[in-house]
């Protein structure tokens, strides 16, 4: 009998932790709580065990392709594939952060958009038929948060490709380096990253629908 598998990234605290708790109560299969920090991840598992819930733990750093591939190979060998993938791992600088805007832009988009994208590219091939993928965005990821109408239209374009979207993300990073991002993009790298996640989710859904339509 095939064991179903659910995976949640960035799950040692906050929303990810709550999602693991919920899956443990409702999902008939193995639930993997993953996190970059092994100590924090195992501690989170122990907290849930006190509640009578028993998720598995595996170290997973989405910013490391090597780490994601190690996890993919582990799941593929042990279970054959993934049934639920919740891409939750993300970072956000505090409003009082002193890091330059350019640094915040590079680091936030690297984790929240580019690392999520690379994680999908590595793990999607082992998704089982009928698998569900949930990308955690935010109300901050609503297009109304982007000042430029022209930019909003680009994000809404139903023909937008992953490559074009990634280019838009890089355009923001470059604008942040130049200090010219505010008029078109606004002043929040987190907002831009989550707008990117929302747009990527729509692209992936369209690609999936088109693939199924062809078959």
Bridge partners, residue 176, by sequence:
none
Q: Which two tokens stand for residue 62?
A: 């989405």
- The pair phi, psi for residue 186, each rounded to 5°, is 85, -170
Token pair of 188 as six digits: 């929040």
Strand bridging mode 82-87 / 127-135: parallel
Query: How many C-beta neighbours within 10 Å does residue 153 have?
Result: 10
DSSP class of residue 61 equals -
Widest CA span of the chain, in angstroms? 57
Q: What are phi and psi of 16, to 5 degrees?
A: -60, -45
Number of other residues whose CB lies within 10 A of the CB of residue 143: 14
- The Cα–Cα gap between 137 and 56 comes to 25
Q: In angstroms, rounded to a whole number, what is the distance separating the alpha carbons of residues 10 and 88?
A: 6
By annotation, the residues acting in catalysis are: 190
Length of the chain: 215
155/168 Cα distance (integer angstroms): 9
């Amino acid at each position: 009998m095939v064991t179903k598998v659910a995976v949640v990234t960035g799950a040692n605290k906050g929303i990810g932790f709550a999602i693991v708790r919920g899956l443990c109560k409702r999902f008939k299969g193995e639930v993997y709580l993953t996190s970059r920090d092994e100590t924090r991840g195992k501690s989170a598992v122990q907290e849930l065990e006190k509640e009578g819930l028993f998720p598995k733990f595996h170290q997973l750093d989405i910013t490391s392709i090597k780490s994601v591939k190690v996890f993919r190979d582990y799941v593929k060998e042990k279970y054959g594939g993934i049934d639920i993938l919740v891409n939750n791992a993300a970072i956000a600088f505090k409003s009082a952060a002193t890091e330059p805007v350019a640094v915040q832009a590079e680091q936030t988009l690297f984790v929240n958009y580019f690392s999520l994208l690379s994680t999908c590219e590595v793990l999607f091939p082992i998704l089982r038929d009928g698998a569900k993928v949930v990308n955690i965005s935010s109300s901050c990821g609503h297009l109304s948060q982007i000042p430029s109408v022209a930019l909003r239209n680009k994000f809404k374009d139903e023909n937008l490709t992953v490559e074009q979207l990634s280019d838009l993300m890089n355009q923001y990073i470059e604008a942040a380096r130049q200090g010219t991002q505010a008029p078109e993009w606004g002043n929040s790298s987190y907002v831009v990253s989550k707008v990117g996640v929302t747009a990527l989710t729509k692209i992936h859904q369209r690609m999936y629908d088109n693939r199924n339509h062809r078959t």
